[in-house]
Structure 1
Amino acid sequence: MIWPNALRVSALFVREWVGRPAAVGALCPSSRHLAREMADVVPDGDGLVVELGGGTGAITAALLERGVAPRRLVVVERSPAFVQHLRRRFPGISIVSGDARQLERLLPSDARVDAIVSCLPLRTLPRQDVTAIVNQCQRVLAVDGVMIQFTYDVRSPDRHPLGDPAFVADASRIVWANIPPARIVTMRRAAIGEVA
């Protein structure tokens, strides 16, 4: 198992939340149930799986447990404390210290990205930041790739859950075994003529 001491991880998470509540977006890390459900949606393939907002590594651990090869996994995290924690916890993984608003610059230029797993609190970030992040995701994601986002809004998602017609909701499910309960939304890139 890759799950570390829960008390130590929770303390780190709370410290980061106190300093930047809107950027962290939750008072406690994602549950194992949510992490595993998110990992289960990631498609098999050879392209990169990019995790946005690695936090304390709950989703990262689940992706590895699901069988995502370490060479395929890139975790982007903005918090220096979380980056340090992730690098200690997952020494064989590419942990990138950076901002998702500059995602294209953080990844190899020739990389194929099969999946983006977003743990970012897109509903609490400023709209201009969300727009920049969504634009970057659209630029790097393969045409047949998927974007997976969780939200604490458990209502059924809109057709364009990110507020951008470039991404269309494909599937969603609620994970009740999380505090608070969360909805996982899987999106695909809109086909030509489908954008509306």
Structure 2
Amino acid sequence: MNRTLIPFTIYTIGKYVYKIQSISINRKIIESGRKFIQILYSGYYASQLKSVGLQFRLGYPVKFIYGAQYICIGNFFTSFPQLRLEAIKTETKTPHIIIGDNVSMGYNCQINCIDKIVIGNNVLFGSNIFITDHFHGASNIDETYISPNKRALYSKGPVVIDDNVWIGQNVSVMPNVVIGEGCIIGANSVVTHDIPAFSIAAGCPAKIIKRMK
């Protein structure tokens, strides 16, 4: 089958499987259909990644995965629908998205990378999470005369999220940030600076509200 037709075919099958929910039929048949579509869908995207571990599961549908050849994902990865992973190669940088084991992402999570984004093991994301290691432009006066969408992508530095971190709903993580082991980031926060290990942080910009260790 033509590779360009595969996503469309999966989408079409998935659409009808999900429509079946409105019909009064055996719940086990519906659930079996869902699992089949998820495995098929996940397998299609897994085949494009640089590396992927065991039990890789993507919620249907995925927004898109761009630059899959620069993305490594460990064992037991799960995401709810509307995942967006974007690894963009520029003239000066090769991107790397590295995700560890036992990582779970909620609905509508987005990771945009031109440099390096590393996510450790046992990390839990709420929904509507945005993580980026770059901006449109370097925010200098000369660039204000250029349309933002035409400015070169600029990274201030990588993003690292260590093991056992829990990130709440609607959080944004900005470039050049390290979130230490065991941290909890409160809902609706914007993380612009490093958060030391075993801290609870919240706010815009995020500030430490409690040290657990």
TM-score range relative to shorter protein: under 0.3
**What is the TM-score normalised by the length of structure 1?**
0.27
Structure number with larger C-alpha Rg: 2
Q: Looking at secondary structure, tell me which structure has more helix per residue.
A: 1
Q: Looking at secondary structure, tell me which structure has more strand per residue.
A: 2
The one of the two structures with greater contact order (alpha-carbon pairs below 8 A, sep at least 6) is 1
